[in-house]
Amino acid sequence: MDNKVIHPNAKIGKNVEIGPFSYIAENVEIGDGTWIGPNVTIMDYVKIGKNCRIFPGAVVGAIPQDLKFAGEVSYVEIGDNTIIRECATINRGTAASGKGITKVGSNSMIMSYVHVAHDCVVGDHVILVSYVGIAGETVVDDYAIIGGNSSAHQFTRIGAHAMVAGGSLIGKDVPPFILAGHRPLVFGGLNIVGLRRRGFSNERIDNLRDIYRVLYQSGLNFSDACRKIEADFEPSDDRNLILDFVRTSKRGLIKVNLSGTLEEE
């Protein structure tokens, strides 16, 4: 007898493996081929995709650590092929936020002791390294990487393909495609290595470099820099993503490093 507890109303897909001493609550859906190790707790109102791997000690779907939470039904949703390592915690949403759901996308890795708070949105192909904590309603866009022992303030956003150095305090928004590091957290150039690994051409990288020179090195404020970028650069998905990110930022952007130079290599 392995002493695992699986509620009879839980929806368990085909070829799902659940280890001993794990607990699966009633309002849980687990996709085909997912592996859940021993001593895992999956609480109510959680949907897990196909071929995920959840390691010992992880807790998914606990009620939010949020004083606004009033016992309402809220959710956690995890995509396909995502890995959740030892002792990570992913909390449900809070209705007062207007969302009521915490989301983690597909093909992402949530490493050991990571905390994903209420109403966060973590995209696809994201890596949150061990001991990262992201506060409520943080957004981490696709392909972003946050280094270990970093903390993100509530409502911050980390853009697509960005890489944040370990031990960072993320109090402002981190634009897409860049490196960020130091204390306080500052812009450190393009994420050249990451972009090349993902197949970005030299021409595409050069265009991003030129856009960020306007944004961070022209001496213009961010609003004026956006207008110049819009006027001087041909429309593209990359250009439009940066402009939309800057213009919709709620907490403001991280600043440039003190030297004002790009530190890409």
| Per-residue model confidence as pLDDT tens digits over 72-105 | 999 999 999 999 999 999 999 999 888 999 999 9
What is the set of active-site residues? 118-119, 136
The pLDDT value recorded for residue 257 is: 77
Q: What confidence score (pLDDT) does residue 177 get?
A: 98
Residue 208 corresponds to which tokens in the numbers above? 């991003």
Q: Is residue 263 scored above 60 in pLDDT?
A: no
- Helices then strands, counting H and E runs in the chain, come out as 4, 28
Question: Is pLDDT at 264 greater than 90 in this prediction?
Answer: no
Please tell me the predicted confidence (pLDDT) of residue 97: 85
Instruction: Reply yes or no on whether the pLDDT at 226 is more than 50.
Output: yes
Q: What percentage of the chain has pLDDT greater than the value 70?
A: 97
The pLDDT mean for the chain works out to 95
Measure the CA–CA gap between 79 and 253, rounded to whole angstroms. Answer: 29
Task: pLDDT band for 1, please (50, 70, 90 cuts).
Answer: low
How many Å apart are CA 241 and CA 60, to the nearest integer?
A: 31
Is the predicted pLDDT of residue 245 greater than 50, yes or no?
Answer: yes
Helix (H, G, I), strand (E, B), or coil: what is residue 245? helix
pLDDT tops 70 at residue 42: yes
Say whether pLDDT at 265 is over 80.
no
Torsion of CA 149, 150, 155, 160, to 10 degrees: -120
Quick: pLDDT tens for 116-165.
999 999 999 999 999 999 999 999 999 999 999 999 999 999 999 999 99
The whole-number average pLDDT for the span 31-54 is 98
Task: Tell me the two tokens of residue 203.
Answer: 């021409």
Handedness of CA 227, 233, 237, 239 (dihedral sign): negative
Residue 36, SS3? strand
The band of 11, judged by pLDDT with boundaries at 50, 70 and 90, is very high
Cis? peptide before 184, omega within 30° of 0: yes
